[in-house]
Structure 1
Amino acid sequence: MAFDGITVACMAHELHKNLSGGRISKIAQPETDELLLTIKSQEGNFRLLLSASASLPLVYLTQTNKPSPLTAPNFCMLLRKHISGGRIIAVTQPSMERILRFEIEHLDEMGDQCRKFLIVELMGKYSNIIFCNEQDQIIDSIKHISAQVSSVREVLPGRPYFIPDTQDKANPFTLTEEDFVRRVAEKSCKLSKALYTSITGLSPIASEEICHLASLDSDRPATSYEPEELIHLYRTFGRYLDPVREGGYEPSIYYEGKVPVEFSCLPLSIYDNCRCEHFPTVSSMLEQYYAERNTVTRIRQKSTDLRRIVQTALERNIKKYDLQAKQLKDTEKREKYRIYGELINTYGYDVPQGSKSFQALNYYTGEEITIPLDPQIPVQENATKYFDKYGKLKRTFEAVTALLKETDEEIQHLRSIQTALDIALQEEDLTQIREELMESGYIRKRPSGSKRPKITSKPFHYISSDGFHMYVGKNNLQNDELTFQFAKGNDWWFHAKGAPGSHVIVKADGVELPDRTFEEAARLAAYYSSLRDSEKVEIDYVEKKQVKKPNGSKPGFVVYYTNYSMMIEPDISGIQLVN
């Protein structure tokens, strides 16, 4: 979710409630585009983070302090001069724009009371923090924007401050029904896009939600809807924004497994299939969401090298497999040559020398076939020639069949490592995957005598609704350890059928498992597999004592000959995670 006008409105309400009347005691600039204000109010002491980062503009209250440079930047020094000790009068949002306006009362150099405005614009790459006087004249800004950079508005000391109106969007709180219908109906794009391009403060996600609540297809062109349908959409839109008017927001993060996929200050019914975690404040929601997203992004970045190694090896093995499969197909005619040789030996004694072919009855099928002959050599030597061809192709068939099996196992192994990289959430998980790649020869082994890294990664540990402990391997080495060292004979083992994924072990402790625990374990096996994006996944499950590991097989590879199966959704919301 973008930091849209709805989120900013809820944040303005939260900040005004907590900070109005508070005094600014400290001002720091830990980054070139970021401020950290410490504010003392009747509600307590607060740290306010203001970020104008082009990639991640943010505003929220935080408990975390950040180190500042030894020499404060000029903008920070200017703010300290003007508003250090100043009192925050109000925090407002103009017209549902992605803008927060802090009104600050302070004493000037002569001891007279005056007011200044600290304006935070949360507009992606155009984000900025601007400091203005009572006449809306810019005193300074954290980013200077000259006329060469922007033809719409200069942001420089001495210039007037104004909000550029470049998209002709309407204020949702003053928008009439007639104006709404007219604006949306004239858009030739899909309905959801018509909403967020016509109305200030709406993001694509919020627009999708409004269409969903109105039971209208968001992908249909807006011009295809009747006026009555758009009136219904307007009323749904009004009800959707009622909590924003009243300050009744519900900060929540929506998760797919452990990965945060969206945050919102209003409920999102389009994410009903995701696990939803509620928060007491908008600030706590934003702080956790971006901390978790940063963790996922950081792990993705750190696993880039491993992913490239695995992908390169996988592509090479797939090409090898295709060549071997072609070689194997070429050996399909070997039996034909054997039969030719046998029939020449059986019927060829009366074939005239120099014949180019002869017809004989194939006693295997009862059909008459034509056998080609080389007229330059005796008839019986043709039989020898065909037997030689048969022998060569038979040897090729046996050799290529074995190679094809090895290559297929290598491909499945590499795909299982790809799945493990998708599951990895911590650097410790990547360490164990790197060890597996070293053992398999895809990464150069460390020099003899060098210290092996300590493996601290542990399997996921869940508790079923009925109180049974369930464990999920994060990679092939953990899968082997779980199945063949940790699990006992009567524990239950789960795995996605015919797909790379985690081994899931349910500790039975000699007790018969309830159906609900079987289903929850199967959902874990479906989610922690390469098929997690499918609607349904087939899961095999069996008692651990039925699972065997063939000698010399790849890590994580097992066989079993009797099993149960079920189809299940890869949804693990509601399953309690212990660690």
Structure 2
Amino acid sequence: MAFDGLFIHSLLKNLSPTLLTGRLTKIYQPFEHDLVLVFRKNRKNYQLLLSINPQYPRFYLTKNSLANPQVAPTFVMVLRKYLEGSILQDIKQVGQDRIINFYFSNRNELGDEVELVLSLELMGRHSNVILYNKQDGKIIDLLKRVNPDENRARLLLPKAKYELPPLNPGIDGFLLTKEEFTKLANKNSPFDLAKKINGLDRDDRLELTGYLEDDYSFESFRTFFNHFENPKGYIFRNNKRKERIFVYQPYHLDLTPYSKNEDINQALDEFYHEQETRDWVHQRAKVVLNIVSNEQKKLSKKLIKLRKQLDQAENSEDYRIKGELLNAYLHLVKAGMTEVEVPNYYEENHPLKINLDPALSPARNAQKYFTKYQKLRNSIKHVKKQISLAQENLAYFDSIETAVNNAEPEDIDSITDELVAQGYIRRNRKQRNKKIDEKALNKFKLSSGKIVLVGKNNYQNDWLTFKKANKHDIWFHVKNMPGSHVILTDSQPSEEDIRETAEIAAYFSKGRLSGHVQVDYVADKRVKKPNGAKPGFVIYTGQNSIEVTPEEKSVLSKRIDK
């Protein structure tokens, strides 16, 4: 279930009483598509997140701490000018559509009271946040200004008159009477009737159809809609382990229950946390990810070329044989010939054609084949070294990519600094040599109470393994793929300690989404760093292995908040 009209209707039942009459005290834009409005009411602060992310536009109260950028974008400055200090008078949804209007009252420079509307339109890639004057309907500013050539239905620029976007016609299920329902039921199948109701996404439509197929009555119809009057947070998984959130418990969809939360805002906060974190991380890590992608492509192409060269060098005996045969049958070679056919005494004298350079003498042609053979044989050692170096570099950039995928937004600066230090990013300003300490790491508490520390990037991995860890602590890492260094701060772990720590190591690796992940573990003293190795690269001996399946909910439940 997405943020469809019924979901929004349900969410407002919970959100409106909390925010109405609250004073808007703070406005900031932590990321490109996201706004945070902080309301003060009854001596408490409430953070309202408004997001026009094209993939998952949404809004809800969040308790996540989001960074306030030092330089505010233009739209935020406009919002602060017109809305900061104002009172939220009302929140209304336009019918059962995905448009929510926040009505504010404030005073202008002359002290006159003005009424302003902040309209949140959750329309996929056309989503927007628009501030306009309620009295004259003139747009003051927008989060996303739209060129008239891109949207001919209405003008989305400052000073234009605000107009609603084209809306899909449909029936408001909350207002439908029993008589109207009966007329519709006589003319439509349950599925066709569900299609006529406004504000339903595919999941809601199928669920309503299921209710009506079980009992095609107005009472059954009302039972379905009553779910939206008292929302709770239900998270379900489909057969591909993808999660979906509902404000009710669906019975007619092929889904498996995952979790339940009485507070719909808290459920939304938890549900979107990973998606929004990935999105915010990728916004901050654009430069890093571009470099990683380019280097991975270059190295992959280089490896293909080097392996082809190695294969050619290791199969160069043909050149030596042709040189020997030419020397043995020089009397058959005449000046100006482009090829000669000689008996191959290595293959029972079967005839073998040998290409010749007509500008060279017979002896020089033979020497040319010997020279080619020797050059290829001599190149084997060099090519193997180049392949090994390219593989190491590719593994390094894979580790950077994994670190970004496992990072929190605030971790991107240290990953960027690593690439600066390695010479992959040029930066004019002085590099930040931020000191690494235990606070920078991810920290977990096992069922036994033992502590597990997890590095978030290559610099932290090295520091954790070689500076922080005791030599008798147990070191964990996924086998043969990029991942975090993980330390279990104990020298005598139980089997359960090992399994739980291995699940953490598997979760913070490239194998996070895999069903079966092999994890190596060994005493930290057996982990060594080769001279000249890149950050994060180590070798180890005497390890044991365990196969685990990383479960996000289980792993994150052990995390110790900072």
Q: TM-score range by the shorter chain?
A: 0.5 to 0.7
String of CA shifts for 1:385-410, please: whole Å, max 9, x gaps.
55433321101222212112111211
Determine what percentage of the aligned residue pairs are the same residue: 26
Change (3 A) 1:123 1:344: closer
User: Which residue pairs with 2:395 in the alignment?
Assistant: 412
- Report the CA distance shift for 1:179/1:539 in structure 2 as closer, same or farther (over 3 A): farther
CA distance in 2, matches of 1:492, 1:374: 63
Could you say which residue in structure 2 is the equivalent of 1:570? 550
- The 2-side partners of 1:389 and 1:242 are apart by 83
Aligned partner of 1:422 among 390, 394, 405 = 405
What residue number does 1:218 align with?
A: none
Give the aligned length. 500
**TM-score normalised by L of structure 2:** 0.67
State the one-letter code of the partner of 2:492.
V
Aligned residue among 461, 479, 503 for 1:497: 479
Alpha-carbon separation, structure 2, partners of 1:472 and 1:50 = 30
- Distance (whole Å) between structure 2 residues aligned to residue 172 and residue 49 of structure 1: 28
The 1:567–1:381 alpha-carbon spacing in structure 2 relative to 1, beyond 3 Å, is: same
Check if 1:512 corresponds to 2:493: yes
User: Aligned equivalents of 2:51 and 2:361: distance in 1?
Assistant: 91
The yes-or-no answer on 1:468 pairing with 2:468 is: no
1:314 aligns with 2:293: no
Amino acid at match of 2:311: K
Query: How far off its partner does 1:528 sit?
Result: 1.8
Alpha-carbon distance in 1 for matches of 2:546, 2:49: 51
One-letter code aligned to 1:521: T
| CA distance 1:273–1:543, shift in 2 (3 Å) | farther
Aligned residue number for residue 555 of structure 1: 535
Cα deviation for residue 417 of structure 1 reads 1.2
Show the counterpart of 1:443.
Answer: 425
Q: Give the alignment's TM-score, normalised by structure 1.
A: 0.65
Q: 1:49 deviation in Å?
A: 6.3
Partner letter of residue 483 of structure 1? Answer: T
Query: Secondary structure of the equivalent of 2:382?
Result: helix
- Contact 1:460–1:474 under 8 Å retained in 2: yes
| Residues 272-306 of structure 1: per-residue CA shift (max 9 Å, x gap) | 697x5846463x66678889876654432221112
Letter in 2 for 1:360: Y
Q: Could you tell me whether the CA contact under 8 Å between 2:285 and 2:412 is conserved in 1?
A: yes
> What SS is found at the alignment partner of 1:461?
strand
* Structure-2 separation of matches of 1:63 and 1:368: 80
Distance 1:289 1:489 in 2: 39
Superposed counterparts of 1:174-189, under 5 Å: 174=176, 176=181, 179=185, 182=188, 185=191
Residue of structure 2 equivalent to 1:190: none
Question: What is the 5 A alignment of 1:299-310?
Answer: 299-310=281-292
Alpha-carbon separation, structure 2, partners of 1:535 and 1:480: 28
Distance 1:61 1:521, change over 3 A: closer
Q: Give a deviation string over 1:515-561, Cα, whole Å, max 9, x none.
A: x3333222222222223233333333344344333333222223345
Task: State the SS of the aligned residue for 2:493.
Answer: coil
Give 1:244 shift: 1.8
- 1:527 and 2:512 aligned: no
Separation (CA, whole Å) in 2 of partners of 1:228 and 1:62: 36
Checking the alignment, whether the CA contact within 8 Å between 1:470 and 1:504 is kept in structure 2 is yes
Q: For residues 234 and 5 of structure 1, do their structure 2 counterparts lie closer, same or farther at Cα, with a shift above 3 Å needed?
A: farther
Offset, 1:342: 6.8
1:433 aligned partner: 415
Indicate the SS of the match to 1:574. helix
Distance in 1, Cα, partners of 2:442 & 2:39: 39
Gaps of 5+ in 1: 105-115, 133-137, 187-193, 215-226
Task: Answer whether contact 1:439 1:445 (CA < 8 A) is retained.
Answer: no
Name the CA shift for 1:403/1:34 in 2 (closer, same or farther; >3 Å).
closer
1:373-388 equivalence runs, <5 A? 386-388=369-371
Distance 2:63 2:458 in 1: 39
Match of 1:107 in 2: none
Query: Which ranges in structure 2 are unaligned for 5 or more consecutive residues?
Result: 105-114, 143-147, 334-340
Matched letter for residue 456 of structure 2: K
Q: C-alpha displacement at 1:577, in angstroms?
A: 0.7
